């Protein structure tokens, strides 16, 4: 059964229903939706528990913090989220960022969640969701592809059973290769086996056809068993590996590296700590914020970016819209309240969202079931997590992040626009050094390319008895000098010098600097006995130019009329048809 049609609005409007999206679907909630939400919530719960344990390892935190981070987002998003499919919780990307900015200290990670939530909440209230538009697709792809390699290689040490490997990528590669002879056979065999099983179940699920209602009951039951096994593959692998480890423990030998003891029970509900005890004193709040640095901008933006990108991908399939500002509010509250239960920063998970959608979830209420399952695990199952081998968790992480590497994006950008390879490669390469440097450098390079295209718009010049100059895009103040140079160089270099018609059909607005530049261009051409006429002016631009009272200003409704009148008013005789066209542009 399809879920409720959530026809959100692209822009928020006043009212409780806008700020509490739960009120849009709750009055229509039905028993049929409840059944499907229960199934989806349980299925996602079987995925999130082993992933949470594994992602805490990526974040450099004790494994229980992965579970602490996995339930509050489910509860909050049920009331404030705008997409029925999205599930919030720890992810590989966010865990990598936390590893970079929290320095493997839980106090830093929890405070980072609180501050990130405050920033996201403020951005949502101020409607700053548009800032995401400045992070280009090549930057995102460069970051996720580098993160896929970084996270995967970070888990090789657990697959091989190596201890004391540094976390910096290049040192990690060197030390792993240098100490590969120290590999523990038990961990390696189990880890590789888990990887093979996960890959096989993933492939099985991708090739599994839909079960038709007309098929016999036995065929449909078999389909359900295979689908459930493939969907809950992480839980099955953890269960299998845990049984193997427990069997060795009972026999009195243990060739595997285990997760170890996990504190039992739910985390205390309390304010995050705003200082931290250190061997040489106390680290105050101000110093902790300074230590996090650019992470306080990168973590909130990347968290929102992941959530909105996932929500939009699934919203397009289900005919509802996503409001980025409402998503900011949901993310903000989830991270703030999460920090009260020792959560590190969370965001939307693509893998678990896909499981949620494929399970037939109807409303965000499925998240309540997922969150409840995590709480039950914390309350009653933590003693069993002792026997989970680290190699199995490493296999789960590698299986989850390998698909994030997109080798095809390099070939695609080479065909579409090679200049976009610059921010892609800058982000990709620098992320191996430090994640924050890669993201910031990629955004800066994308911004420079964007500003350059604004400052050097394509300018088409058609020659006749008068020159027809047509900017290919709107004019902003960095572009006026480029336009003046193009017009003067062509008009004055011609023999004899020619007057100019400026076709403004692509110009929707101008600023004061552009208006001053056009006035100076008029004066410069008049000094040489030439004229400048405007045609195809849009009303806002025409009103600005008329209010400026430019000396010698003349305009025509269209370039055809300007050409017809050009001989009499601009060139002194009948204008010849435009015979050649060239384009002046410094962009590739």
> What's 79-139 look like in SS3?
HHCCCCCCCEECCHHHHHHHHHHCCCCHHHHHHHHHHHHHHHHHHHHCCCHHHHHHCCHHH
Task: Indicate if the pLDDT at residue 510 is higher than 80.
Answer: yes
pLDDT score at 11: 42
Q: Where are the beta strands (DSSP E) in 238-348?
A: 276-278, 281-283, 347-348
- The answer to whether 44 and 137 have CB atoms below 8 angstroms apart is no
Mean pLDDT in residue range 7-34: 72
Given CATH 3.30.750.24, say whether it is the number of domain 459-565: yes
Highest mean predicted confidence (pLDDT) among 130-139, 181-190, 436-445, 555-564 = 181-190
pLDDT score, position 9? 41
Given a cut of 80, whether residue 353 has pLDDT beyond it is yes
User: pLDDT tens-digit profile of 286-335?
Assistant: 999 999 998 999 999 888 888 877 776 676 556 667 788 888 899 999 99
**Tally: H helices and E strands in the chain:** 25, 10
Q: What is the mean predicted confidence (pLDDT) over 48-60?
A: 91
**Three-state secondary-structure class, residue 350:** helix
Give pLDDT, residue 271: 95
Q: What is the pLDDT of residue 82?
A: 85
Instruction: Kindly provide the residue ranges of all beta strands, DSSP E only, lying in 441-579, ordered along the sequence.
Output: 459-463, 467-471, 500-503, 532-535, 555-556
| DSSP tag of 389 | B
Determine the Cα–Cα distance for residues 147 and 367; give it in Å rounded to an integer.
27
Residue 29 Cα distances to 73, 212, 370, 386, angstroms: 21, 27, 18, 40
- 103 backbone φψ class: left, alpha, beta (φ>0; ψ -120 to 50): left
pLDDT at 226 over 90: no
Q: How far is the first Cα of the chain from the last one, in angstroms, to the nearest whole number?
A: 50
| 483-493 pLDDT tens trace | 888 888 888 88
The least confident of 29-38, 54-63, 227-236, 573-582 is 573-582
pLDDT at 583 (0 to 100): 44
pLDDT at 568: 47
How far apart are the C-alpha atoms of 554 and 208, rounded to whole Å? Answer: 69
Instruction: Decide which of 43 and 424 is more confident.
Output: 424
Q: Which residue has the higher pLDDT, 478 or 578?
A: 478
Q: Beta strands 467-471 and 347-348: pairing type? A: unpaired
Distance between CA atoms of 427 and 143, rounded to whole angstroms? 6
Name the packing angle between helices 106-125 and 92-101 (round to 10°): 110
| CB neighbour burial string for 539-562, b if at least 16 within 10 angstroms, e if fewer | eebeebbeeeebeeebbbeebeeb
Report the C-alpha gap between 32 and 439 in whole angstroms: 44
Confidence of residue 235 (pLDDT cuts 50, 70, 90): confident
- Confidence grade of residue 174 (pLDDT, cut at 50, 70, 90): very high
Which alpha helices (H) appear in 252-294, and where do they start and end?
A: 285-292
Residue 583's H or E segment, with its range, is strand 580-584
Residue 101 phi/psi, 5-degree rounding, is -105, -15
pLDDT of residue 264: 87
**Is pLDDT above 50 for 58?**
yes
The answer, yes or no, to whether residue 279 has pLDDT greater than 70, is yes
- Residue 46: its pLDDT value, please? 84
pLDDT of residue 577: 44
Q: Average of pLDDT values for 258-266?
A: 89
Question: In the prediction, which pLDDT does 368 show?
Answer: 95
CATH 3.30.750.24 maps onto the chain at 459-565
Q: Is 447 exposed, middle or buried (0-12, 13-18, 19+ CB in 10 A)?
A: middle
For residue 461, say if its preceding peptide bond is cis, omega within 30 degrees of 0: no
Each residue's pLDDT tens digit, 526-569: 888 888 889 888 898 889 888 888 888 888 887 667 666 654 45
pLDDT of 570 strictly over 70:
no
pLDDT of residue 332: 93
pLDDT of residue 564: 66
In whole angstroms, what is the distance from residue 116 CA to residue 120 CA?
6
Q: Distance of CA 464 to CAs 310, 467, 573, Å?
A: 53, 6, 12
Rounded average pLDDT over 340-361 = 88
pLDDT tens digits along 96-136: 999 989 999 999 999 999 999 999 999 999 988 887 778 88
Instruction: Measure the CA–CA gap between 237 and 226, rounded to whole angstroms.
Output: 15
Find all residues with CB under 8 Å of 75, minimum gap 6, and list them: 367, 368, 371
At 124, phi and psi to the nearest 5? -65, -45
Tokens of 540: 């806002």
What mean pLDDT do residues 375-386 have? 91
Q: Is pLDDT at 507 greater than 70 in this prediction?
A: yes
pLDDT at res. 563:
63
| CA–CA separation, 135 and 129 (whole Å) | 12
Write down the mean pLDDT value for the chain: 85
Confirm if 461 and 467 have CB atoms less than 8 A apart. Answer: yes
Angle (nearest 5°) at CA 467 between 466 and 472: 150
Distance between CA atoms of residues 235 and 242, nearest Å = 10
């Amino acid at each position: 059964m399809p879920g409720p049609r959530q026809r959100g609005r692209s822009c928020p409007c006043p009212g409780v229903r806008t700020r509490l999206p739960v009120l849009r679907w709750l009055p229509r909630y039905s028993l049929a939706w409840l059944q499907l939400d229960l199934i989806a919530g349980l299925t996602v719960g079987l995925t999130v528990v082993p992933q949470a344990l594994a992602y805490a390892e990526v974040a450099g935190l004790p494994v229980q913090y992965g579970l602490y981070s996995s339930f509050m987002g489910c509860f909050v998003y049920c009331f404030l989220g705008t997409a029925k499919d999205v599930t919030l919780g720890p992810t590989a990307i966010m865990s990598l960022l936390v590893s970079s900015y929290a320095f493997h200290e839980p106090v830093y990670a929890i405070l980072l969640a609180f501050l990130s939530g405050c920033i996201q909440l403020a951005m949502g209230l101020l409607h700053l969701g548009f800032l995401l538009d400045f992070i280009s697709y090549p930057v995102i792809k460069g970051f996720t592809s580098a993160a896929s390699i970084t996270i995967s290689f970070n888990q090789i040490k657990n697959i091989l059973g190596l201890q004391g490997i540094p976390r910096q990528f290049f040192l990690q590669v060197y030390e792993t290769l240098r100490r590969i002879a120290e590999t523990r056979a038990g961990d390696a065999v189990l880890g590789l086996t888990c990887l093979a099983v996960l890959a096989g179940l993933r492939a099985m699920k991708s090739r599994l056809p839909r079960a038709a209602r007309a098929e016999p009951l036995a065929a449909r039951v078999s389909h359900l068993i295979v689908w459930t096994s493939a969907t809950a593959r992480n839980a099955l692998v953890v269960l299998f590996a845990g049984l193997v480890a427990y069997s060795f423990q009972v026999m009195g030998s243990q060739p595997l590296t285990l997760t170890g003891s996990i504190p039992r029970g739910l985390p205390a509900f309390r304010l995050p700590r705003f200082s931290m005890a250190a061997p040489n004193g106390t680290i105050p709040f101000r110093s902790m914020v300074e230590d996090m640095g650019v992470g306080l901008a990168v973590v909130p933006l990347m968290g929102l970016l992941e959530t909105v990108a996932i929500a939009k991908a699934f919203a397009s399939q289900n005919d509802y819209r996503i409001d980025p500002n409402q998503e900011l509010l949901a993310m903000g509250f989830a991270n703030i309240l999460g920090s009260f239960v020792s959560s590190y920063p969370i965001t939307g998970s693509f893998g678990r969202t896909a499981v949620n959608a494929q399970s037939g979830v109807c409303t965000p209420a499925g998240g309540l079931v997922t969150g409840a399952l995590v709480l039950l695990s914390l309350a009653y199952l933590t003693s069993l997590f002792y026997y989970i081998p680290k190699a199995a968790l490493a296999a789960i992480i590698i299986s989850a992040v390998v698909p994030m590497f997109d080798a095809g994006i390099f070939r695609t950008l080479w065909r579409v626009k090679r200049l976009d390879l610059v921010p892609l490669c800058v982000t990709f390469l620098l992320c191996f050094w430090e994640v924050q440097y890669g993201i910031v450098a990629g955004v800066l390079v994308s911004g420079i390319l964007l500003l350059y295209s604004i400052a050097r718009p394509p300018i088409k010049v058609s020659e006749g008895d008068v020159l027809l100059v047509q900017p290919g895009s709107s004019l902003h103040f960095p572009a006026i000098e480029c336009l003046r140079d193009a017009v003067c160089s062509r008009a004055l270099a011609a023999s004899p010098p020619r007057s100019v018609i400026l076709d403004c059909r692509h110009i929707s607005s101008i600023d004061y600097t552009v208006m001053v530049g056009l006035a100076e261009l008029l004066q410069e051409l008049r000094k040489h006995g030439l004229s400048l006429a405007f045609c195809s002016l849009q009303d806002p631009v025409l009103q600005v130019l008329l209010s400026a009272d430019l000396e010698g200003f003349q305009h025509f409704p269209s370039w055809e009329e300007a050409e017809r009148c050009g001989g009499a008013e601009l060139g002194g005789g009948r204008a010849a048809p435009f015979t050649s066209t060239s384009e002046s542009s410094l962009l590739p």
